Amino acid sequence: MSEIKGMVVAITGASSGIGEATALLLADRGAKVVLGARGTERLAALADRIAGAAGDATYASTDVKRRQDLAALVALARERYGKLDVLINNAGVMPISPFDDLRVEDWDEMIDVNIKGVLYGIAAALPVFRSQGFGHFINIASTAGFKTVPNQSVYSATKFAVRAISEGLRQEAGDRLRVTIISPGFVATNFADRVTNQSVRAQLEASRDALAMPPAAIARAIVFAIEQPSDVDVGEIVIRSTAQK
């Protein structure tokens, strides 16, 4: 708790799933959390929940496809709390489908959110981290970033990209900044809701119901990386349920 108390942590995709669970756990450990997601109603409810438990949270509507929204989220952290210790690039989408469905708009969405959203977060926070002399990027990838399977090629490609971007950033970061990749397996979230191919959606939901971990499991991994001493950089955590191959 001593390593996290008083830290300022911004989280994208904070209104549900991994982002919500992480915000709750960090706030419970004494961090000040800056919540970003597209819908403000759920963000407001989450901020109220954190405040009701004697935590400290603020929020802003954040669409990671818009570079200015990431810049505004980082600016909010600095204006409200005077610094930014950690940026968690968590927002992601997974509208997977067979190539034959030609869901080009979904391909674009995955590239824009899963890759460009991470890059926009880096662009917003890196100058701040450099000027402060400290900072920690935590980028959420996936076990799909290690191998792909039918119907998931574009999604997997975006997560391969997140891992490559993060490793390159780590090598450039120097000895004052930290970069961590979190690569979860199946997590019990609503990731299948936007899958339009009914057969693929049914397969995903069946796998999720059989294999998925609670979001809190990923939140604990994120907190583990954050709470290490400032000269210790946890490069990557791969976390999956024991039932997932």
Model confidence pLDDT, tens digit, residues 130-170: 999 999 999 999 999 999 999 999 999 999 999 999 999 99
Q: Which architecture does CATH list for 8-238?
A: 3-Layer(aba) Sandwich (3.40)
The residue extents of the domains of the chain are 8-238
Q: How far is CA 76 from the centre of its chain?
A: 18
Question: Residue 35: pLDDT band by 50, 70, 90 thresholds?
Answer: very high
pTM of the model: 0.95
Active-site residue 81, yes or no?
no
SS3 category, 232 = coil
Total Cβ atoms within 10 A of residue 190: 10
Model confidence pLDDT, tens digit, residues 84-121: 999 999 999 999 999 999 999 999 999 999 999 999 99
Handedness of CA 203, 218, 114, 42 (dihedral sign): positive
What stretch of H or E contains 51?
A: helix 40-52
Q: Does the pLDDT value for residue 192 go beyond 60?
A: yes
The one catalytic residue in 59, 81, 120, 155 is 155
